[in-house]
Amino acid sequence: MKSPDELRKFNTLKVLRFIADKKQGTKSEIARATNLTMVTVGNIINMMVEREVLMQDGIDSSNLGRNSVIYSFNLSKNHIIGINMGIDYISFREEDLEGNIIGRKYVQVEIDISYEEVLSMLVEYIKHKENILGVGITIPGVSNQETGKVEFLPNLKSIKGQYLRNDITAMTNLFTIVEKDVYAGAGLFRENGSKKSTALLSIKGGIGCGVICNGSVLKGHDSMAGEIGHISINPDGPLCSCGQKGCIEKYAADYALSEQLGMGLKDMVEAANMGDAECLDVLRKACDSLVILTGYINKFYNPEELFINSRWLEQVASIKQYFNELIKDQPNLITIIYDSHNYEKGAVNIIKEKLLSDIENNHLLGG
């Protein structure tokens, strides 16, 4: 049985979720939608206005009789920070509760940067911000959600074995989540309240897959689900950083293609679009590997829809056409996109989802 304080917090989240979904609402609209009494809704609204979580946002005069006050989030007072730690960079993003961008920052780092330097960089950025509700951090590795320990991280090796989440929380006094990047990125494709099965295949510094199954991110026993780039398709192929030979990642990840062609991703895309025969040949071979991978995803996870996030696949028209021809007989809907900020957005989203669903350590509720 819930205590009075727990019940108040759960009811408050009902109100906040309504406003998050509809952007605004009157007390009567919220009461009807949440099945809460007008007195309860009124008390919650007044408390949230006093805490500057909500604000009066106009008057609804569309109904006969007494005009009603419209309430919405106080966007100037409630922000979330999302941080993505890539192979050789750290990117920062600050958003309000409606997803409007407040600020962004991108920092190139050496792969041998010390943990103390990383921690100092993150904390300095966070501490210079105001009205922050929480911090989401995405990494191309595994963080133990119970202990906060980074168990696996292939790039910024000094962070492996460190308690990044705990240290950031202790140094900023802010609720913090550290999550695998592709899981957070996949969460952006989760439809509100939907049980739809969706997958995100991310082709960036490496290749990973995030799967939404029955409305939840599929993580596996120890958050190693989705390491699909390390499926070997050639036992005599090139050695991968994971220790295997012939991983699909070595044939289709951005870094592997850049190594083969001796040029950066931007130059590779430009050259391919200008008809460079060598570039086009390498990219077509990468597509041949990826179609094997999408077939595996269909067999392993059977998603209704698969999103592929790849710059070269989306921006080189002839290659996109070539790949679409290869996958035309696969059973699910496959959509090619390119969103370079997917992981930062995902980092923000994991905090927003937490704020609107969990009463523990919730700054919106005063916790």
CB under 8 Å to 211, separation ≥6 — which residues? 186, 197, 198, 199, 200, 217, 218, 225, 226, 301, 303
For residues 138-165, one letter each, b for 16 or more C-beta atoms within 10 angstroms of the residue's C-beta and e for the rest, the string is bbbbbbeeeebbbebbebbebbbebbbb
In degrees, to the nearest 5, what angle opens at C-alpha 35 toward C-alphas 29 and 39? 75
Per-residue tens of pLDDT for the chain, all 367 residues? 778 889 999 999 999 999 999 999 999 999 999 999 999 999 999 999 999 999 999 888 776 567 789 999 999 999 999 999 988 899 999 999 999 999 999 999 998 899 999 999 999 999 999 999 999 999 988 889 889 999 988 778 889 899 999 999 999 999 999 999 999 999 998 765 556 889 999 998 889 999 998 888 888 887 888 889 899 999 999 998 888 999 999 999 999 999 999 999 999 999 999 999 999 999 999 999 999 999 999 988 889 899 999 999 999 999 999 999 999 988 778 999 999 999 999 999 999 999 999 888 888 887 6
Cβ(133)–Cβ(364) under 8 Å?
yes
Q: Which domains does the chain have, with CATH numbers?
A: 4-73 (1.10.10.10), 79-185+344-365 (3.30.420.40), 191-340 (3.30.420.40)
- At 312 the three-state DSSP class reads helix
The rounded distance, in Å, linking the Cα atoms of 170 and 49 is: 28
Q: How far is CA 19 from the centre of its chain?
A: 22
Please, which residues bridge with residue 138 across strands?
84, 179
Cα Rg, the chain, nearest whole Å: 23
DSSP secondary structure string for all residues of 130-145: -SEEEEEEEESSEE-T
CB under 8 Å to 160, separation ≥6 — which residues? 141, 150, 151, 152, 153
pLDDT of residue 192: 53
pLDDT of residue 155: 75
Q: How far is CA 112 from the centre of its chain?
A: 25
